[in-house]
Amino acid sequence: MKFIFMVFHYPKPDHRESLLKGMSETASFFKGKPGFIDAGAWVDENNPECLVGVSFWNSKQAFFDAGMTFAKPDEIVAGETKPRERFFFERM
């Protein structure tokens, strides 16, 4: 595992379940893509309103080659309370 993508979501309470479903569907979409290892949703125990999507890849290039797209950095996506925070981690 050489690359991790992590995104923090801040869903409105009535949007939480649909966001979880969308995160699961996204993980299913990536299954079988070259370089994809695994993905899933996590909850921050210090901030349970926050859902964290984490995906593991063989490389950053594989992640982008799989077709990942993003909203604008400061855009608040429908059903969420503030902009998503994204983190890109590469193994040293």
**Is 7 inside a domain boundary?**
no
**Is 18 inside a domain boundary?**
yes
CATH of the domain at 42: 3.30.70
| DSSP string covering 32-89 | TSTTEEEEEEEEETTEEEEEEEEEEES-HHHHHHTT-----TT---TTBSS--EEEEE
Res. 5: pLDDT tops 80: yes
Res. 1: pLDDT tops 80: no
Q: pTM of this prediction?
A: 0.89
Domain that holds residue 45: 12-82
Domain count, the chain: 1
pLDDT score at 15 = 96
**Is 77 inside a domain boundary?**
yes
pLDDT in tens, 24-64: 999 999 999 999 999 999 998 888 899 999 999 999 999 99
